[in-house]
Amino acid sequence: MIPAHPAFADGPLYLDYNATTPVDPRVTAAMEPYLAQWFGNPSSGHAYGAEPKRALERARRQAAALIGARADEIVFTGSGSEADNLAIRGAVLAAATDRPHVITQITEHPAVLETCRALERLHGTEVTYLPVDRHGLVDPQDLTAAFTPRTVLVSVMAANNETGALQPVAELARITRDHGALFHCDAAQAAGKIPLDVIASGIDLMTVVGHKMYAPKGIAALYVRTGVTLEPLVYGGGQERGLRAGTENVALAVALGAATQLAAEELADTTHDRVAVLRDRLHDGLADGLPGRVRLNGPYENRLPNTLNISIDGVRGHELLAAVTGIAASTGSACHSGARTPSPVLSAMGFDPARSLSALRLSLGRWTTTADIDRAVGLLTAAAEPARPA
């Protein structure tokens, strides 16, 4: 039984789980002892460091289990952006190749795209940005054609943060392996929502983010396959396999470990199926209430179970959400919040500016109920109904 969450006792409906998730009370309970009682440095050789060290390694095992990795392949970082930077920059700077070549795709998270652009600017790295189709998916043939003898890394996300589109990462990783390069996958949105197995998929590097899966902000992890060499981002002591110097934040690592264990338990039952049913109920309710005006952005089948991205003809997404005070949602990535320009993701998928500007991203989660969905349908339909397509 999932305990009630105090954040939702009195407030608007929360349909922005892809931006961030509330911290699960069970996660809070797990981390609290390491904020006070077990305060020691996990690198200390005395009694005060022993329990923090055990907790840190337990959290490492829990995070590894969610993605099919080994505990010693998990590196804790301070954010998903840091993990992406360590994977991409670390692989490029460690490569024994003159002017390394990187392949990514145009709808990646800014943490990936901006790291690649910085490598181009600062280190002369060559980067190929693959296009996507109308569903936001990379064509494996485009990846195959992009390789050069200098390609050292391919970085393609598991799931898009705006549309929920699931990339064919296992196939892309296989192609990458056949060409002798490393494959990095940003799984910030996918981890805990769909099954992931780095071994079965042939993935070398994977990013997992705490605040996308009911842990606090400020903690993430990078899976680094045994044998992969990276240049560190932060130099100093030998923490985190020498890849991320600095005394570990034990409480936040414990929180991530607890969150990954809860996610694994949910994936083993039907919790994610429940969320997919609610997502489709939301879509169907809006389509019925606004006939002919609701258009799905992204694939119908091959997407995250919690994510609905739609455009409503005749309205602008940010104006509609501003008019509906009873719902907390977004028009796209939280990293672009406040922007009044078309979503780069939807533009890359070939949608015109009017469709992009009318988009809503409605993302569900652990505490979303049927009553919430029905209320959201009523509020959004009422607010959008007076508008008509030009």
What is the chain's Cα-based Rg? 21
pLDDT of residue 293: 96
List every span in the chain annotated with CATH 3.90.1150.10: 11-23+269-384
Contact 95, 192 (CB under 8 A): no
User: How far, in Å, are 146, 182, 211 from residue 113 at the CA level?
Assistant: 17, 17, 21
Q: Phi first, then psi: what are they for 119, rounded to 5°?
A: -65, -40
- Could you read off the pLDDT of 14-29 as tens digits, one per residue? 999 999 999 999 999 9
pLDDT of residue 390: 45
Nearest to 268 by CA among 58, 71, 65, 64: 65
Q: Which residues contact 376 (CB under 8 A, 6 or more apart)?
A: 13, 15, 282, 327, 362
List every span in the chain annotated with CATH 3.40.640.10: 25-267
pLDDT of residue 327: 96
d(CA 191, CA 44): 32
| Percent helix, percent strand, percent coil in the chain, to nearest 5 | 40, 15, 40
d(CA 204, CA 326): 43
Intervals of the chain under pLDDT 70: 1, 270-272, 333-339, 387-390
Nearest to 85 by CA among 183, 204, 230, 211: 230
d(CA 193, CA 178): 29
**Dihedral over alpha carbons 284, 288, 292, 297 (to 10 degrees):** -20
- Could you read off the pLDDT of 276-309 as tens digits, one per residue? 999 999 999 999 999 999 999 999 999 999 999 9
Nearest to 201 by CA among 187, 189, 213, 214: 187
Contact 359, 317 (CB under 8 A): yes
Contact 345, 309 (CB under 8 A): no
pLDDT of residue 153: 98
User: How far, in Å, are 102, 119, 230 from residue 115 at the CA level?
Assistant: 11, 6, 15
**Assigned fold of 25-267:** Aspartate Aminotransferase; domain 2 (3.40.640)
Q: Where are the beta strands (DSSP E) in 283-365?
A: 294-296, 307-312, 327-328, 359-363
pTM of the model: 0.95
Task: Write the DSSP symbol of residue 203.
Answer: -
User: Does the active-site annotation cover 185?
Assistant: no
d(CA 56, CA 135): 40
pLDDT of residue 9: 80
CATH architecture under which domain 11-23+269-384 falls: Alpha-Beta Complex (3.90)
pLDDT of residue 270: 66
The DSSP line for 36-95 is: TTS-S-TT-SSHHHHHHHHHHHHHHHHHHHHHT--GGGEEEES-HHHHHHHHHHHHHHH-
Which of these is catalytic: 2, 199, 335, 339?
335
Angle at 135 between CA 132 and CA 136, to 5 degrees: 35
